[in-house]
Chains A and B, each alone.
Chain A
Amino acid sequence: MRFVFKTTYDADINLFKHKTQMGYYFALFAAVLALPLYFVWTGNPYLLGEITAVLIFAIVGMGLMLLTGQTGLASLGHAAFMALGCYSNILLLNAGVPWLIAFPLAGLIAGVVGTVIALPVLRLHGVYLALATLALSIIAGDIIVLLEAYTGGVSGIAVPDISIFGYEINKYANPYAFYYVVLAVVFIIALLYRNLLRAPTGRSFSAIRDSEISAQAMGINPTRTKAKSFFLSCVAAGLAGSLFGHSATYITHETFDLVMSITLLLMIVIGGLGFIHGAFLGAVVVGLIPVLIANGRSLLATTFGININIPGLESAMFAAILMGFILFEPMGLYGRWLKVRTYFELFPFYRKDMFRRQKSYLKTERVQ
């Protein structure tokens, strides 16, 4: 086990706990930077597209993690905020705004509108808040249809390509460049998220999550703090929505549906609530399960001649995985990783109930 001898307060303030940890993250960063080279070599960038989709889910996952994992507010309306960002981005691009301005602006619009919509809802707790945001998710589709003149309604709308200083990036024409664009956004948002967590605002979010009454007694304004969290969360959702639009190249009123909202929430629960890593791990599970199923299906068909075409297989597997996690590993994939790591760090002194008192469920409601 590693013991870090801390000699300055900065040891606790810095991004990385120690040099080796910093090394791991730099190695990871180098690996994801070099990843497209592999696909250039194989010449088949199909899987890179899937990885890009995972990264887009990770962006909205981080946004939702901030809201649900850090602040303790469950939202079933994040697909609606993604839609808001996506359509804003398209409309701005169609109006001739350069992508580098339209894209962040789309995030801001999603954040501002999301917060304005959410302000009255934020007074609700726990399951009531989830229900109110669920309603948002349902209404969003209808609003998109009603605003047909702008959104294309049921027939949908084409998403313009990303253009950075005249350099056109299309997901199909240039998957590598699109991957790097998404990666840059992921990197920036992860960094900002991490920064927030080590600063007073991040701590005030956790304070609101764990005990609203004593947060108030420490001078934290609950409504304002929740609104801040909602704003930041919606910005991330809006940005992810914009990128999702670029990735899909054509979107309709059904692209951002209720199922997506639910998937997003399940994603962060599977990944591990309250950890940035959880957003990524959950996104990997959500993004790669369809790929695995498709691969397994074709493998069965080619080698054994068995054709499985069960409708809803994907959802069923997803549901089974989720139930498994809630029953056996409520801390999610990242929680499992922490346990495995602790097991090896303390070997042979790990005790079975070491994590017993840790969080085992999402606490959004507290009886006072």
Chain B
Amino acid sequence: MSHAPLLDIKNVTQKFGGVVAVDDLTLHVNEGEVFALVGPNGAGKSTVFNLISRFYTPANGSISFNGEQLLDLVPDRIPSLGIARTFQNIELFEQATVLQNLLVGRHRHRATNVLSELFFLPSVRREERRHRHAVEQVIDFLDLQPYRDKMIAGLPYGVRKVVELGRALATEPKLLLLDEPASGLSVEETQDMAFWIEDIQKQMGITVLMVEHDMGLVSAVSNRVMALADGKELATGTPQEVQSHPAVIEAYLGTSGIQKGGQQAEKSSAAKSAPKPAKTAAKKASAKKAVPKKAAAKKPAAKKPAARKQATRKPASARKGAKS
């Protein structure tokens, strides 16, 4: 992977009024890797996604994908390059069935126009069969068969999350953006998600860029991790490197001394014109008290899923059989 990266973000800054959500960020995602963005709430992770999806236009910087400048394009042109995404708060088409949702994912592959569709020419039927075939493969991959003809409005959260992943996969992307794929999922569902992400990377050869808070999932599936705080890069490297990086520990857990914590808060308020006052104040006040408690709570939670995954790891085919 020495050649040019698949996704190249250079010196991108995004401001919302006085808040700098992403501050001069540079990152690249190589072809075939799983790249995770981690960081506390408000670090700018989802903003990076919305920048790539072109829902936001950055103040400066450049984003290129596969040699194309994304900033020259409108949002609905992005999927045609091979970038698909999911949303943090599921954005499915509620009044449609799972199948119809997945078929919408095939929109960029459609080869018919309104006129031929109005008369439902043989070419339209042929295309529909082709799309359906592609969608069925996604359904098989994600075990969505029981829900095929169910309305999204009646489905539980965990299934919706999978349907959204399926819709993104139905677009046959080169790069998949997953915005918190495991948020709100149970332990078992998170494990499934981990297996799927791994299969997506290894079997389908799709590059994955994800935002995730569950460090267990992140360290289990990602090749590289970037930690963000206040829109800036803290550290990049393997999951273990990033987790043990001093700056990351500081951002997540605060520093050990009140004085140091105070300095850090001052620094960040100097850097930003409008920092989140409540948060920094809370950090200042509770830095000493909260550290041992938080650390104790965090460590096992982060380690556990990874350990469990090691134990239950089976070949994909065996797992499929066992599950059904």
Residues of A within 8 A of B (CB): 9-10, 12-13, 192, 195-196, 198-204, 206-207, 209-211, 213-222, 228, 232, 274, 357-359
Contacts and interface: CB of A to CB of B under 8 A. Distances in A.
Contacts of B103: 200, 203
A219 B117 contact: no
| 7 tightest Cβ-Cβ pairs between the two chains A and B | A199-B117, A219-B79, A214-B91, A210-B93, A219-B108, A195-B120, A200-B110
B124 to A, nearest CB: 6
B118 A204 contact: no
B95 A214 contact: no
A9 B132 contact: yes
A203 B153 CA distance: 16
B75 A216 contact: yes
Nearest to A228: B114
B120 A219 contact: no
Contact of A207 (B85, B104, B120, B136): B104
B100 interface: yes
A178 B185 CA distance: 61
B174 to A, nearest CB: 14
Given A9-B133, A220-B107, A358-B153, A201 B114 contact: yes
B107 A200 contact: yes
Nearest to A273: B95
Nearest to B124: A199
| Residue in A10, A196, A219 with the greatest tally of chain B CB atoms within 10 Å | A219
Interface in B253-289: none
Contacts of A359: 94-95, 153
B93 A358 contact: no
27 contacts: A9-B132, A195-B118, A200-B106, A200-B107, A200-B110, A200-B117, A200-B127, A202-B117, A203-B96, A203-B100, A204-B104, A206-B104, A207-B104, A210-B96, A211-B92, A211-B94, A214-B87, A215-B93, A217-B84, A218-B171, A219-B78, A219-B107, A219-B108, A228-B114, A357-B153, A358-B151, A358-B153
Contacts of A210: 92-96
Contacts of A10: 125, 129
B104 A215 contact: yes
Contacts of A192: 118-119
A202 B107 CA distance: 11
Contacts of A196: 114, 117-118
B80 interface: yes
A210 to B, nearest CB: 4
Contacts of B55: 213, 216
B121 to A, nearest CB: 9
Given A10-B129, A198-B128, A217 B92 contact: no
Contacts of B128: 9, 13, 198-199
B105 to A, nearest CB: 6
Nearest to B153: A357
B76 interface: yes
B77 A219 contact: yes
A187 to B, nearest CB: 14
A72 B160 CA distance: 22
A363 to B, nearest CB: 8
Given A207-B107, A220-B76, A358-B154, 14 more contacts: A10-B129, A13-B128, A196-B114, A196-B118, A199-B112, A199-B117, A200-B107, A211-B93, A217-B87, A217-B91, A218-B105, A219-B79, A219-B107, A232-B114
B293 to A, nearest CB: 36
Contacts of A206: 93, 95-96, 100, 104
A13 B117 CA distance: 12
Contacts of B124: 199
Given A200-B112, A207-B93, A218 B117 contact: no
Contacts of B232: none
A206 B95 CA distance: 8
B107 A204 contact: yes
A209 B93 CA distance: 8
A218 B107 contact: yes
A198 B84 CA distance: 24
B99 interface: yes
Contacts of B80: 219
A9 B126 CA distance: 10
Interface in B174-225: none
A218 B75 CA distance: 9
Given A9-B128, A12-B132, A206-B95, A218 B104 contact: yes
